[in-house]
Structure 1
Protein backbone atom coordinates (compact mmCIF):
# COMPACT_ATOMS: atom_id res chain seq x y z
CA UNK A 1 0.00 0.00 0.00
CA UNK A 2 1.36 3.42 -0.98
CA UNK A 3 1.30 6.30 1.42
CA UNK A 4 -0.02 9.55 0.07
CA UNK A 5 1.16 12.84 1.44
CA UNK A 6 -0.89 15.89 0.76
CA UNK A 7 1.02 19.13 0.54
CA UNK A 8 -0.74 22.47 0.47
CA UNK A 9 1.02 25.45 -1.01
CA UNK A 10 -0.13 29.00 -0.53
CA UNK A 11 -0.52 31.25 -3.56
CA UNK A 12 2.36 33.41 -2.26
CA UNK A 13 4.87 30.61 -1.74
CA UNK A 14 7.71 30.59 -4.27
CA UNK A 15 7.79 27.17 -5.90
CA UNK A 16 8.46 27.68 -9.63
CA UNK A 17 11.93 28.23 -11.03
CA UNK A 18 12.24 30.90 -13.69
CA UNK A 19 11.98 28.47 -16.62
CA UNK A 20 8.75 26.94 -15.30
CA UNK A 21 7.23 30.33 -14.41
CA UNK A 22 8.13 31.66 -17.88
CA UNK A 23 6.47 28.68 -19.51
CA UNK A 24 3.35 29.01 -17.36
CA UNK A 25 3.12 32.73 -18.22
CA UNK A 26 3.99 32.03 -21.87
CA UNK A 27 7.00 34.36 -21.79
CA UNK A 28 10.75 34.11 -22.29
CA UNK A 29 12.76 33.80 -19.06
CA UNK A 30 14.68 36.95 -20.00
CA UNK A 31 11.39 38.88 -19.96
CA UNK A 32 10.86 37.80 -16.35
CA UNK A 33 14.36 39.05 -15.47
CA UNK A 34 13.59 42.38 -17.15
CA UNK A 35 10.26 42.70 -15.30
CA UNK A 36 12.06 42.01 -12.03
CA UNK A 37 14.67 44.67 -12.83
CA UNK A 38 11.84 47.19 -13.43
CA UNK A 39 10.15 46.24 -10.16
CA UNK A 40 7.03 44.80 -11.81
CA UNK A 41 7.55 41.42 -10.16
CA UNK A 42 9.45 40.36 -7.03
CA UNK A 43 10.09 36.63 -6.93
CA UNK A 44 11.17 34.96 -3.72
CA UNK A 45 14.73 33.64 -3.49
CA UNK A 46 16.02 30.27 -2.37
CA UNK A 47 18.87 30.18 0.17
CA UNK A 48 21.26 29.88 -2.79
CA UNK A 49 19.68 32.89 -4.57
CA UNK A 50 17.59 31.06 -7.18
CA UNK A 51 14.45 32.93 -8.21
CA UNK A 52 11.30 31.17 -7.03
CA UNK A 53 7.98 32.35 -8.45
CA UNK A 54 4.64 31.81 -6.74
CA UNK A 55 1.27 31.15 -8.34
CA UNK A 56 0.39 34.78 -7.60
CA UNK A 57 3.57 35.90 -9.42
CA UNK A 58 2.59 33.84 -12.48
CA UNK A 59 -0.90 35.40 -12.45
CA UNK A 60 0.68 38.86 -12.24
CA UNK A 61 2.95 38.02 -15.20
CA UNK A 62 -0.10 36.96 -17.22
CA UNK A 63 -1.83 40.21 -16.29
CA UNK A 64 1.21 42.24 -17.39
CA UNK A 65 1.28 40.34 -20.67
CA UNK A 66 -2.43 41.06 -21.18
CA UNK A 67 -1.89 44.78 -20.60
CA UNK A 68 0.99 44.95 -23.05
CA UNK A 69 -0.40 42.75 -25.83
CA UNK A 70 -4.18 43.25 -25.68
CA UNK A 71 -4.36 46.77 -24.30
CA UNK A 72 -1.26 48.09 -26.03
CA UNK A 73 0.33 49.56 -22.89
CA UNK A 74 4.06 50.06 -22.61
CA UNK A 75 5.82 49.05 -19.38
CA UNK A 76 5.53 52.56 -17.94
CA UNK A 77 1.76 52.32 -18.44
CA UNK A 78 1.71 48.88 -16.84
CA UNK A 79 3.65 50.24 -13.86
CA UNK A 80 1.13 53.06 -13.48
CA UNK A 81 -1.88 50.73 -13.71
CA UNK A 82 -0.40 48.38 -11.11
CA UNK A 83 0.43 51.33 -8.85
CA UNK A 84 -3.12 52.69 -9.10
CA UNK A 85 -4.59 49.25 -8.41
CA UNK A 86 -2.40 48.98 -5.31
CA UNK A 87 -3.54 52.41 -4.12
CA UNK A 88 -7.16 51.42 -4.71
CA UNK A 89 -6.76 48.21 -2.70
CA UNK A 90 -5.21 50.15 0.21
CA UNK A 91 -8.01 52.73 0.07
CA UNK A 92 -10.65 49.98 0.05
CA UNK A 93 -9.06 48.32 3.09
CA UNK A 94 -8.99 51.69 4.87
CA UNK A 95 -12.67 52.35 4.06
CA UNK A 96 -13.61 48.90 5.38
CA UNK A 97 -11.63 49.61 8.55
CA UNK A 98 -13.35 52.98 9.01
CA UNK A 99 -16.77 51.43 8.38
CA UNK A 100 -16.12 48.83 11.09
CA UNK A 101 -15.03 51.59 13.50
CA UNK A 102 -18.10 53.68 12.65
CA UNK A 103 -20.34 50.67 13.39
CA UNK A 104 -18.59 50.19 16.76
CA UNK A 105 -19.08 53.85 17.63
CA UNK A 106 -22.76 53.69 16.63
CA UNK A 107 -23.20 50.72 18.98
CA UNK A 108 -21.48 52.62 21.79
CA UNK A 109 -23.69 55.66 21.21
CA UNK A 110 -26.82 53.50 21.23
CA UNK A 111 -25.69 51.93 24.51
CA UNK A 112 -25.07 55.33 26.07
CA UNK A 113 -28.48 56.56 24.94
CA UNK A 114 -30.13 53.52 26.53
CA UNK A 115 -28.28 54.19 29.80
CA UNK A 116 -29.24 57.86 29.71
CA UNK A 117 -32.89 56.94 29.23
CA UNK A 118 -32.69 54.41 32.07
CA UNK A 119 -31.21 56.93 34.47
CA UNK A 120 -33.50 59.76 33.34
CA UNK A 121 -31.47 62.32 35.20
CA UNK A 122 -29.94 65.59 34.24
CA UNK A 123 -26.56 66.74 35.34
CA UNK A 124 -26.93 69.77 37.57
CA UNK A 125 -24.48 71.85 39.52
CA UNK A 126 -24.16 70.93 43.16
CA UNK A 127 -24.42 73.84 45.54
CA UNK A 128 -23.38 73.55 49.14
CA UNK A 129 -26.25 74.40 51.52
CA UNK A 130 -26.06 77.95 52.84
CA UNK A 131 -23.43 79.05 50.36
CA UNK A 132 -24.24 82.17 48.39
CA UNK A 133 -24.02 81.75 44.62
CA UNK A 134 -22.52 84.74 42.87
CA UNK A 135 -22.32 84.91 39.13
CA UNK A 136 -19.07 86.12 37.63
CA UNK A 137 -20.84 88.79 35.62
CA UNK A 138 -22.31 90.25 38.83
CA UNK A 139 -18.92 90.66 40.53
CA UNK A 140 -17.58 94.19 40.38
CA UNK A 141 -13.86 94.57 39.90
CA UNK A 142 -11.91 95.73 42.93
CA UNK A 143 -10.35 99.16 42.66
CA UNK A 144 -7.35 99.86 44.75
CA UNK A 145 -5.22 102.93 44.99
CA UNK A 146 -1.57 102.63 45.68
CA UNK A 147 0.34 105.65 46.86
CA UNK A 148 3.89 105.67 45.70
CA UNK A 149 6.28 107.96 47.47
CA UNK A 150 9.52 108.85 45.80
CA UNK A 151 12.77 109.75 47.54
CA UNK A 152 12.71 113.35 46.30
CA UNK A 153 9.15 113.82 47.76
CA UNK A 154 10.50 112.80 51.21
CA UNK A 155 13.38 115.24 50.97
CA UNK A 156 11.01 118.19 50.39
CA UNK A 157 8.77 117.35 53.32
CA UNK A 158 11.64 117.11 55.74
Structure 2
Protein backbone atom coordinates (compact mmCIF):
# COMPACT_ATOMS: atom_id res chain seq x y z
CA UNK A 1 0.00 0.00 0.00
CA UNK A 2 1.35 3.44 -0.89
CA UNK A 3 2.20 5.88 1.87
CA UNK A 4 -0.72 8.02 2.96
CA UNK A 5 -3.42 5.62 1.77
CA UNK A 6 -5.75 4.10 4.32
CA UNK A 7 -7.76 0.90 4.32
CA UNK A 8 -9.78 -1.11 6.82
CA UNK A 9 -6.57 -2.27 8.52
CA UNK A 10 -5.11 1.23 9.08
CA UNK A 11 -4.69 1.92 12.82
CA UNK A 12 -6.71 5.10 13.29
CA UNK A 13 -8.69 5.08 16.51
CA UNK A 14 -7.57 5.58 20.09
CA UNK A 15 -9.14 3.22 22.60
CA UNK A 16 -11.87 5.68 23.69
CA UNK A 17 -13.04 6.23 20.10
CA UNK A 18 -12.86 2.52 19.22
CA UNK A 19 -14.84 1.66 22.36
CA UNK A 20 -17.53 4.19 21.46
CA UNK A 21 -17.73 2.91 17.86
CA UNK A 22 -18.00 -0.67 19.11
CA UNK A 23 -20.53 0.21 21.83
CA UNK A 24 -18.26 -1.04 24.61
CA UNK A 25 -16.36 0.28 27.60
CA UNK A 26 -12.62 0.98 27.07
CA UNK A 27 -11.80 -1.50 29.87
CA UNK A 28 -13.54 -4.22 27.88
CA UNK A 29 -11.27 -3.47 24.92
CA UNK A 30 -8.22 -3.70 27.20
CA UNK A 31 -9.41 -7.10 28.44
CA UNK A 32 -10.01 -8.35 24.89
CA UNK A 33 -6.50 -7.19 23.97
CA UNK A 34 -5.01 -9.02 26.99
CA UNK A 35 -6.69 -12.31 26.10
CA UNK A 36 -5.97 -11.92 22.36
CA UNK A 37 -9.48 -11.50 20.95
CA UNK A 38 -8.49 -8.25 19.25
CA UNK A 39 -4.89 -7.22 18.60
CA UNK A 40 -4.67 -3.46 18.09
CA UNK A 41 -1.51 -1.85 16.74
CA UNK A 42 0.71 -0.10 19.27
CA UNK A 43 2.21 3.35 18.83
CA UNK A 44 5.82 4.15 19.77
CA UNK A 45 4.48 5.17 23.19
CA UNK A 46 2.62 1.81 23.48
CA UNK A 47 -0.86 3.34 23.11
CA UNK A 48 -3.41 1.13 21.39
CA UNK A 49 -4.62 2.12 17.92
CA UNK A 50 -7.62 0.31 16.47
CA UNK A 51 -8.46 -0.10 12.81
CA UNK A 52 -11.94 -0.18 11.32
CA UNK A 53 -11.47 -3.95 10.97
CA UNK A 54 -10.78 -4.12 14.73
CA UNK A 55 -13.99 -2.18 15.43
CA UNK A 56 -15.99 -4.54 13.21
CA UNK A 57 -14.46 -7.50 15.04
CA UNK A 58 -15.32 -5.91 18.41
CA UNK A 59 -18.94 -5.60 17.26
CA UNK A 60 -18.92 -9.26 16.22
CA UNK A 61 -17.55 -10.21 19.66
CA UNK A 62 -20.30 -8.16 21.31
CA UNK A 63 -22.98 -9.88 19.22
CA UNK A 64 -21.64 -13.36 19.98
CA UNK A 65 -21.36 -12.51 23.66
CA UNK A 66 -24.97 -11.25 23.66
CA UNK A 67 -25.99 -14.62 22.14
CA UNK A 68 -24.48 -16.38 25.16
CA UNK A 69 -21.09 -17.51 23.88
CA UNK A 70 -18.26 -17.36 26.39
CA UNK A 71 -14.97 -15.62 25.56
CA UNK A 72 -13.11 -18.89 24.90
CA UNK A 73 -15.78 -19.94 22.40
CA UNK A 74 -15.64 -16.53 20.75
CA UNK A 75 -11.83 -16.75 20.55
CA UNK A 76 -12.06 -20.16 18.86
CA UNK A 77 -14.64 -18.90 16.35
CA UNK A 78 -12.51 -15.85 15.52
CA UNK A 79 -9.39 -18.04 15.14
CA UNK A 80 -11.27 -20.32 12.73
CA UNK A 81 -12.66 -17.37 10.76
CA UNK A 82 -9.17 -15.87 10.51
CA UNK A 83 -7.77 -19.23 9.42
CA UNK A 84 -10.45 -19.56 6.73
CA UNK A 85 -9.60 -16.04 5.50
CA UNK A 86 -5.90 -16.91 5.33
CA UNK A 87 -6.65 -20.14 3.46
CA UNK A 88 -8.94 -18.31 1.04
CA UNK A 89 -6.14 -15.87 0.24
CA UNK A 90 -3.70 -18.77 -0.20
CA UNK A 91 -6.11 -20.61 -2.53
CA UNK A 92 -6.43 -17.46 -4.66
CA UNK A 93 -2.64 -17.17 -4.80
CA UNK A 94 -2.30 -20.80 -5.84
CA UNK A 95 -5.06 -20.50 -8.45
CA UNK A 96 -3.31 -17.45 -9.86
CA UNK A 97 0.07 -19.23 -9.91
CA UNK A 98 -1.48 -22.29 -11.56
CA UNK A 99 -3.21 -20.22 -14.20
CA UNK A 100 0.04 -18.37 -14.93
CA UNK A 101 1.87 -21.70 -15.20
CA UNK A 102 -0.77 -23.13 -17.50
CA UNK A 103 -0.61 -20.04 -19.72
CA UNK A 104 3.19 -20.19 -19.79
CA UNK A 105 3.17 -23.82 -20.91
CA UNK A 106 0.27 -24.29 -23.31
CA UNK A 107 -0.37 -27.85 -24.44
CA UNK A 108 1.78 -29.44 -21.76
CA UNK A 109 -1.01 -30.86 -19.64
CA UNK A 110 -4.69 -31.46 -20.14
CA UNK A 111 -7.13 -32.51 -17.46
CA UNK A 112 -10.49 -34.23 -17.77
CA UNK A 113 -13.15 -35.47 -15.40
CA UNK A 114 -13.02 -39.20 -14.78
CA UNK A 115 -16.07 -41.45 -14.56
CA UNK A 116 -16.05 -41.22 -10.76
CA UNK A 117 -15.71 -37.42 -10.75
CA UNK A 118 -11.95 -37.60 -10.22
CA UNK A 119 -9.44 -35.50 -12.15
CA UNK A 120 -7.53 -37.36 -14.86
CA UNK A 121 -4.30 -36.02 -16.36
CA UNK A 122 -3.96 -36.56 -20.10
CA UNK A 123 -1.16 -35.97 -22.54
CA UNK A 124 -1.75 -33.29 -25.16
CA UNK A 125 -3.84 -34.76 -27.99
CA UNK A 126 -5.01 -37.76 -25.92
CA UNK A 127 -8.73 -38.29 -25.38
CA UNK A 128 -10.28 -39.57 -22.20
CA UNK A 129 -11.72 -43.07 -22.23
CA UNK A 130 -15.47 -43.06 -22.13
CA UNK A 131 -17.67 -45.68 -20.63
CA UNK A 132 -20.07 -47.24 -23.12
CA UNK A 133 -22.29 -48.85 -20.49
CA UNK A 134 -26.03 -48.48 -20.96
CA UNK A 135 -28.14 -47.53 -17.97
CA UNK A 136 -31.85 -48.34 -18.07
CA UNK A 137 -34.04 -46.47 -15.67
CA UNK A 138 -37.68 -46.91 -14.89
CA UNK A 139 -39.55 -44.95 -12.24
CA UNK A 140 -40.78 -47.11 -9.36
CA UNK A 141 -44.44 -47.96 -9.59
CA UNK A 142 -44.59 -47.79 -13.39
CA UNK A 143 -45.38 -50.86 -15.39
CA UNK A 144 -43.73 -51.52 -18.67
CA UNK A 145 -46.13 -52.54 -21.44
TM-score normalised by structure 1 residue count: 0.59
How far the C-alpha of 1:109 sits from its partner, in A, is 3.9
Count of residues paired in the alignment = 107
How far the C-alpha of 1:106 sits from its partner, in A, is 2.6
How far the C-alpha of 1:62 sits from its partner, in A, is 0.6
Instruction: Find the counterpart in structure 2 of residue 75 from structure 1.
Output: 71
**SS of 2:10's equivalent?**
coil
Matched, 1:99 2:112: no
More helix, by proportion? 1
**SS of 2:37's equivalent?**
coil
More strand, by proportion? 2
How far the C-alpha of 1:101 sits from its partner, in A, is 2.6
How far the C-alpha of 1:47 sits from its partner, in A, is 2.3
How far the C-alpha of 1:58 sits from its partner, in A, is 1.0
Unaligned regions of 5+ residues in structure 2, if any? 110-123, 125-145
**SS of 1:110's equivalent?**
coil
Instruction: Find the counterpart in structure 2 of residue 47 from structure 1.
Output: 44
How far the C-alpha of 1:65 sits from its partner, in A, is 0.6
**What root-mean-square deviation, in Å, do the aligned CA atoms of Structure 1 and Structure 2 show?**
2.3
| Alignment partners' CA distance in 1, 2:5 and 2:43 | 19
Instruction: Find the counterpart in structure 1 of residue 83 from structure 2.
Output: 87
TM-score normalised by structure 2 residue count: 0.64
| Alignment partners' CA distance in 2, 1:74 and 1:101 | 41
How far the C-alpha of 1:111 sits from its partner, in A, is 4.9
| Alignment partners' CA distance in 2, 1:92 and 1:22 | 30
How far the C-alpha of 1:105 sits from its partner, in A, is 3.1
Unaligned regions of 5+ residues in structure 1, if any? 1-6, 118-158
Matched, 1:62 2:67: no
